[in-house]
């Protein structure tokens, strides 16, 4: 199956819009693991084992591994996810953005070295920075569109006077992704949960695209407003929660605590979808 097929299957099979973000911080690990970067794989694998029947995707953030020279542990984790949850797609959160042979190497890293099903990208350098990823048949790519950080206003909210309709830059990115850039049919967009009104504006331009939505949980995004906005048009929804699930418990039962947090988050999203 291609990435979107996997996403739809996992969403249906697990009745879920939830993505668990794997952002391992050794300083926050429980018990004897605390501060030990050599335990990154062990911690993340336990989270995966506890939650894989509750999610529609996992999203490891590459910086949390690379900062601790733990890329080998990320490779091992990717293999583990393939074994225990082969139906759950894995989105490598790398936010790459470059051109030419460099972009080709980043694509090779994501899809060949790590075996990811999709990757996050910055579209700032234009279409030729994205094409190397689209050459991988069946693989997905999520373009940063409207992020929730305050600095996102610096560029994403600026209006483009030379584009018909004078859209904000994030609306223009969404239109390009929905249209001419989506050459393999596997593109999606990243939009922040803290801006549900702008999720609606993205949906107006890109109603059928998958949306990857971080910000529910520790970042304070409103789950009900997020789901309501993202459901417009019917495109797939991936709502990411990282810290609120990963660090739900600090004892030996941390994985069970993570499972309970994931169950509660999934239930909140399900209720929002029914509302």
Q: What is the pLDDT of residues 56-114, one digit of tens each?
A: 999 999 999 999 999 999 999 999 999 999 999 999 999 999 999 999 999 999 999 99
Q: Report whether pLDDT(275) > 80.
A: no
Structural domain including 88 reads: 3-274
Active site residue: 76, 95, 108, 228, which one?
95
CA distance 103 to 159: 28
CA distance 230 to 228: 6
Q: What is the pLDDT of residues 220-244, one digit of tens each?
A: 557 788 898 898 878 999 999 999 9
Q: What is the pLDDT of residues 28-70, one digit of tens each?
A: 999 999 999 999 999 999 999 999 999 999 999 999 999 999 9
Average pLDDT, the chain: 94
CA distance 65 to 62: 5
- Residue appearing with tokens 């910000």: 215
The domain that holds 85 is classified in CATH as 3.20.20.70
196-205 vs 223-230: helix crossing angle, rounded to 10: 10
Active-site residue 34, yes or no? Answer: no
Angle at 173 between CA 127 and CA 101, to 5 degrees: 20
pLDDT confidence band for 196 (50 / 70 / 90): confident
Q: 10 Å Cβ neighbour count for 100?
A: 10
Number of domains in the chain: 1
């Amino acid at each position: 199956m291609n990435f979107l097929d996997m996403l739809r299957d996992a969403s249906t099979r697990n009745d879920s819009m939830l993505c668990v973000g794997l952002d391992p911080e050794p300083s926050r690990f429980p018990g004897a693991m605390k501060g030990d970067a050599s335990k990154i794989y062990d911690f993340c694998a336990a989270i995966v084992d506890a939650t894989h029947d509750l999610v529609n995707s996992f999203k490891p953030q590459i910086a949390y591994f690379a900062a601790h020279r733990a890329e080998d542990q990320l490779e091992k984790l990717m293999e583990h996810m393939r074994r225990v949850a082969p139906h759950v797609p894995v989105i490598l959160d790398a936010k790459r953005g470059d051109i030419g042979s460099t972009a080709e190497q980043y694509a090779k890293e994501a899809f060949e070295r790590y075996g990811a099903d999709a990757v996050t990208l910055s579209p700032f350098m234009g279409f030729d920075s994205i094409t190397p990823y689209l050459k991988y048949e069946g693989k997905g790519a999520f373009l940063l569109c409207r992020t929730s950080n305050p600095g996102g206003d610096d560029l994403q909210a600026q209006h483009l006077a030379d584009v018909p309709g004078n859209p904000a830059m994030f609306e223009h990115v969404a239109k390009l992704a929905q249209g001419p850039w989506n050459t393999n049919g596997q593109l999606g967009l990243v939009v922040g949960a803290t801006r549900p009104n702008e999720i609606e504006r993205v949906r107006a331009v890109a109603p059928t695209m998958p949306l990857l939505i971080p910000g529910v949980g520790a970042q304070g995004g409103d789950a009900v407003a997020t789901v309501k906005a993202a459901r417009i048009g019917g495109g797939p929804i991936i709502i990411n929660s990282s810290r609120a699930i990963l660090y739900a418990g600090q004892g030996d039962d941390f994985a069970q605590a993570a499972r309970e947090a994931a169950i509660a988050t999934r239930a909140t999203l399900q209720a929002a979808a029914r509302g």
